[in-house]
Structure 1
Amino acid sequence: MKQQYIKNLAIAFILLLFGNHANAQIGIGVENPTNPVEVKTDAGKVIIDKSGKLGVLVTNPKVAIDLRSGTNGSVAVGNTDKTAAQVGAGALRYVASPAIGVKGYLEFSDGTNWVSFFPKGKPRIVVMASKVTQDTYIFESSNPSEIGAKSGIVQRRSSYLTNWTEKLDSDSGVPTSNFNPATGEFIAPRTGVYFATFTFALQSSQVNTGGNNQTEAIWEVRNPAGTITQRVKTNNGYASDTGASPNAVPVGSACTVSVYLNKGDKLRPFTWVTVAFDGTISQFDISSNGVYNSLTIVEQ
């Protein structure tokens, strides 16, 4: 009984102590706090004022959390895998993304979607290349034995343009490796719309009589598994007969597209040519350092 009495007395004392100070200020390292909560630190005070505003080294906070002390008054925002709906409108997160040129950026939730803010503008892929070699790769032919690397364009065969000279492959100014100059293949690092154009020209020659003279410049899209999902082509026709020498013409073509790519999709240029030149193999015109044979890809 005596022990229980002492225990009840102790509890009553604690309740009385906290009851007397329920409306008082709390000071940690501060003898006479003037705000409901004051905490002394080596750099200054952290306070909660009577309206519930938090001030970090700020004596008169103006907003719910005020860090504007003028000395290292920054705030750290972490990342989250939660959806914008889960965190609610107004939430912030930091997205560390070494895959893009800006390296990292902030996003805010509008309650439905995460909305990105890019301090250097929207990340943008830019690829530029020229072709100063005769290298191609036949990948479609009625004769399977022809599949493989070639020098020049073989008539009536689907040929990738290979071994480009890369001028630029960047993401918002940061060098990347989205384009493979050896194969001419571009792999989209993220889903979006890409503007792509390439041109090629063959060495000037006489186009002899023929009923189906044409050159096709074609952009091909494959998914990550390698399945063809889209082909866009431009067909240039030529006169059936340009006459005898020296009536040579620079046969060529170009294809420009805006194409939607999913992350991991592969974009690659190729040609199909049927022009009645003398012989069955046509050579690229590389006499001007590849100005006629160029490639550009820009993220929109």
Structure 2
Amino acid sequence: MNMKKSLIGMYLISFCSFVSAQIGINMSSPEGIIHIDGQKNTSATSPSTYYDDVMVTSSGNIGIGTKAPKTRLDLRSNERLNAIGIGETSQTASAAKAGALRYNSGTQDLSYSNGTTWVTLAHKVPNDFVDAENSSMQNFSSGVQTAITNWTEKTDVNGSFNSSTGVFTASKTGIYIVSFTFSLSSGTIANDARFESLIQTNSASSATNKVFKCVGSYPGNNTISNRVAGNCSGIFNLNQGDNITVSLTQSLGSSKTLDSDATLTSVSIFGL
């Protein structure tokens, strides 16, 4: 009988120890129900060392980077790398339930579910704005459409313009206004000569591909040697990731080069 009582007592002691146990990973003295020390560097006398810890308290709060979470999920740490990543979802708002958050890559904003619909949070993403000039003296063969490359950026708010290739990539879906001017070095002009300046969009969906052409001509017999210049503007409805390029086609009688004066060849792109 005494043996049975001893066994029962040992069982109760073991059970009580189990239910009050704390779990420590990478550490021998956990300070919560679950305490993970990511880099095995935590020191109880140095609060700054908790930046890589994950803590679950007895009240059910979870702390990442802090040993004393004040909310159900607390990401605040001394390291200050406290961003939270929110991804996209194909769930409906009702399936995700009220209070859920999602990110929209197309419009670059966050939405929350009110239980019925996704509601866009107020935000302000900087509009694309590019202003560039060109003094590369690029050569244009007669009768060949050639994209203008090797630009010098003056402004590029969102880093959406590749100055080497001359390709602009829309950072978000919207309306874009494009203005393009050029000037070719002085030279002879052939009879019945003409040129085209073009602004062209390229996208995965051919429905948004467009070309704006602006034409200049020198009809009849030409005996002049002069600088050829022109400009072209257009308004485009672009999806995120769509491209814009500007190019020239000239039939002026011989190869031509851009003028060395950078201010005479420029492109500006502004997203509304």
Interval of TM-score (by shorter of Structure 1 and Structure 2):
0.5 to 0.7
TM-superposition CA deviations, 1:263-294 (whole Å, max 9, x none):
22221111111124xxx21121123xx11100
Q: Per the alignment, do residues 124 and 83 of structure 1 end up closer, same or farther by CA in structure 2, a change over 3 Å counting?
A: farther
TM (norm. structure 1) is: 0.53
Name structure 1 gaps, 5 residues minimum: 1-76, 136-151
Q: Does 1:190 align with 2:172?
A: yes
Q: Does 1:153 align with 2:140?
A: yes
Q: Which of 223, 226, 233 is matched with 1:243 structurally?
A: 223
CA distance in 2, matches of 1:96, 1:263: 11
Helix, strand or coil: the match of 1:117? coil
What is the aligned length?
Answer: 189
TM-superposition CA deviations, 1:106-148 (whole Å, max 9, x none):
6456854533412xx453011111111023xxxxxxxxxxxxx
Q: Which of 127, 136, 146 is matched with 1:133 structurally?
A: 136
The letter of the residue matching 1:230 is K
* Contact 2:111-2:118 at 8 Å conserved across structures: no
The alpha-carbon deviation at position 186 of structure 1 amounts to 1.0
The letter of the residue matching 2:194 is Q
Q: Which residue of 2 aligns with 1:222?
A: 202
Select the structure of larger CA radius of gyration: 1
Q: Which of 238, 249, 254 is matched with 1:272 structurally?
A: 249
The alpha-carbon deviation at position 94 of structure 1 amounts to 7.4
The letter of the residue matching 2:170 is A
CA distance in 1, matches of 2:169, 2:118: 26
The alpha-carbon deviation at position 92 of structure 1 amounts to 7.7
CA distance in 1, matches of 2:172, 2:208: 18
Name structure 2 gaps, 5 residues minimum: 1-83
* Contact 1:130-1:295 at 8 Å conserved across structures: yes
The alpha-carbon deviation at position 235 of structure 1 amounts to 0.8
Q: Which residue of 2 aligns with 1:294?
A: 266
The letter of the residue matching 1:255 is C
CA distance in 2, matches of 1:183, 1:116: 36
TM (norm. structure 2) is: 0.57
Where does 1:37-76 land on structure 2 (aligned, <5 Å)?
Answer: none
| 4+ residue runs over 6 A deviation | 225-228
**Cα RMSD after superposing both structures:** 3.6
The alpha-carbon deviation at position 156 of structure 1 amounts to 0.5
